[in-house]
Amino acid sequence: MVILQEGQVYKIITDKTQKSMTFYITYVDRLKDEVFVKVFSPFSLYEGFRISTIENKTLKEIIDFEKIKNFYFENIPFSIKNKIGKLLYQKENHPICIVKNKINDFFEKYDKFEFQNPMVSVRNNFDNLLIPQNHPGRKESDTFYSENKFLVLRTHTTAHQTELLKKKITKFIVTGDVYRRDTIDASHFPVFHQVEGVNVLGSVSDKVVIEHLKDTLSGLIKHLFGNDVKYRFIDEYFPFTNPSFEVVVEYHGIEMEVLGSGVIHKDIMKNCGLEGQNGWAFGMGLERLAMIFFDIPDIRYFWSEDPRFLSQFKAGEFTKFQPYSKYPSAIRDISMWITEGFEDNYFFDLVRDLSENLVEEVSLTDSFTNPKTNRSSKTFRIKFRSIDKTLTGEEIDKILNEIKQELINKDYEIR
């Protein structure tokens, strides 16, 4: 029997087309015995609809495929959908979870929340946080939307701040996976993890809140990096906090931004029914910390299912990663004529989608406009390297041809 859970993904092959489909459970109402799902396929998104759970039936048997119909704008590639529901931060022997637990230890008296469903409303992710309509973080080229831009894959764990404050939950930690379109390299991946902390202190001045925030974050940084750590606060800007600060930690002589924070905006407090009260919030990434603590050289490792990676880590232990081997890389270039509106992120997504984790880095190596024809061209360099095996020329060229074919399908001309 399938036990349906929010945030989980089920993959099945449909009878009709033999194509694989991904079902994503958005909401389970156990009292009414009803389940809400979204259906994903690599080619299009189908309508979210309601089904009822029936014991001893598989998902395939319960879903009435006749009810599925074409639906809505969305810009979430399949490689991203595949990551939804992996819940790395809840796997106790996974480096991301080990770092999460270390942070949670520090915030012993805070309520802990982990919302497994990363699809949140645009309202909670942006509007309620006073993020303006023209903010770059809202761009389709930066953010994954679904359902005609009603839903979004949360771009930060701050997305849960106002719903909790409205419930008068005022001292909490939220951990979750967050999603942003990005470049491809050793420290950037479109899915990463954040921990959010909030503490409403009462009717106190900004000065008191800032002092409490800085004391707390200083304690956290020392808890994580040791008492001798070098770190500093830098003034920052976030629409949802004022004033705002970033914390930068010096590690092996390099300064690294580890978190953003600040005094929660007065309008947010008011909108959440907490007028007159004052508090702080912070948001911190887990991958960069884990890469440092475990000596993990490439962010893709976190998604590895290779036992040679996973078996090296144990709950509560901070041991150094022993690379099992570095496999050779292969470089391939693609030059193409682009049209207006082309964003480099679309190319990065396409490569990710068709190469899974076999590409280590993609970079723009050349870009020019022909002054006579006014046509523009870009050349991208793709560096293939698997973290688990040596790739054959055949495997690489197969992926390369698929990328080219997809570009041609999208009416781009390969040079």
For 284, phi then psi, to 5°, come to -135, 140
On the CB side of 139, CA atoms within 13 Å amount to 11
Q: Residue 117 touches which of ligand FA5, Mg ion, none (CB < 5 to 8 A by kind)? A: none
The tokens of 355 are what? 């190469």
Tell me the window of 106-114, 260-268, 280-288, 404-412 that interacts with Mg ion (CB under 5 A): 260-268
Residues 318-357 within binding reach of ligand FA5 (CB under 6 A) = none
For 45, phi then psi, to 5°, come to -110, 140
Nearer to Mg ion by Cβ, of 45 and 131: the residue is 131
Distance of CA 303 to the CA centre of its chain: 12
Residue nearest to Mg ion (CB): 260
* Closest distance to Mg ion from the beta carbon of 10 (Å): 35
Which residues contact residue 312 at a Cβ distance below 8 angstroms, ignoring those fewer than 6 apart? 319, 321, 322
* Closest distance to ligand FA5 from the beta carbon of 69 (Å): 36
* Closest distance to ligand FA5 from the beta carbon of 87 (Å): 18
Write the DSSP symbol of residue 227.
T
CA distance 154 to 25: 16
Mind giving me the DSSP string for 102-118?
HHHHHTTTSEEE--S--
Binding track over 167-206 against ligand FA5, x by CB under 6 A: ---------------x-----x---x-x-x----------
Longest CA–CA separation in the chain, Å:
68
361 touching ligand FA5, by CB under 6 A: no
Q: Find where tokens 């990005």 sit.
A: 182
Residues 247-266 within binding reach of ligand FA5 (CB under 6 A) = 257-262
Nearer to ligand FA5 by Cβ, of 286 and 336: the residue is 286
281 touching ligand FA5, by CB under 6 A: yes
Q: Nearest to residue 404, comparing CAs of 414, 395, 396, 393?
A: 414
Nearer to ligand FA5 by Cβ, of 42 and 239: the residue is 239
Nearer to Mg ion by Cβ, of 170 and 194: the residue is 194
CA distance 40 to 12: 10
Nearer to ligand FA5 by Cβ, of 188 and 223: the residue is 188
Nearer to Mg ion by Cβ, of 85 and 260: the residue is 260
Sheet containing 111-113: give its strands across.
111-113, 171-179, 191-202, 278-285, 254-264, 241-251, 230-238
Residues 27-86 within binding reach of ligand FA5 (CB under 6 A) = none
- Number of chain positions touching Mg ion (CB under 5 A): 1
Nearer to ligand FA5 by Cβ, of 23 and 179: the residue is 179
Q: Nearest to residue 283, comparing CAs of 266, 302, 264?
A: 264
H helical segments located in 132-178: 161-166
Tell me the window of 23-31, 126-134, 257-265, 331-339 that interacts with Mg ion (CB under 5 A): 257-265
Nearer to ligand FA5 by Cβ, of 4 and 387: the residue is 387
- Number of chain positions touching ligand FA5 (CB under 6 A): 23
Residues 205-244 within binding reach of ligand FA5 (CB under 6 A) = 238, 241, 244
Terminal-to-terminal C-alpha distance of the chain = 52
Tell me the window of 30-38, 224-232, 280-288, 290-298 that interacts with ligand FA5 (CB under 6 A): 280-288
Mind giving me the DSSP string for 57-108?
--HHHH--GGG--B-------HHHHTTTT--GGG-TTSHHHHHHHHHHHHTT
CA distance 230 to 412: 49
Q: Residue 262 touches which of Mg ion, ligand FA5, none (CB < 5 to 8 A by kind)? A: ligand FA5
Binding track over 141-170 against ligand FA5, x by CB under 6 A: ---------------x-x------------
Element at 367 (helix H, strand E) = strand 359-369
Nearer to ligand FA5 by Cβ, of 48 and 190: the residue is 190
Which residues contact residue 343 at a Cβ distance below 8 angstroms, ignoring those fewer than 6 apart? 141
Q: Which residues bind ligand FA5 (CB under 6 A)?
A: 156, 158, 182, 188, 192, 194, 196, 238, 241, 244, 257-262, 281-285, 287-288
Q: Which residues bind Mg ion (CB under 5 A)?
A: 260
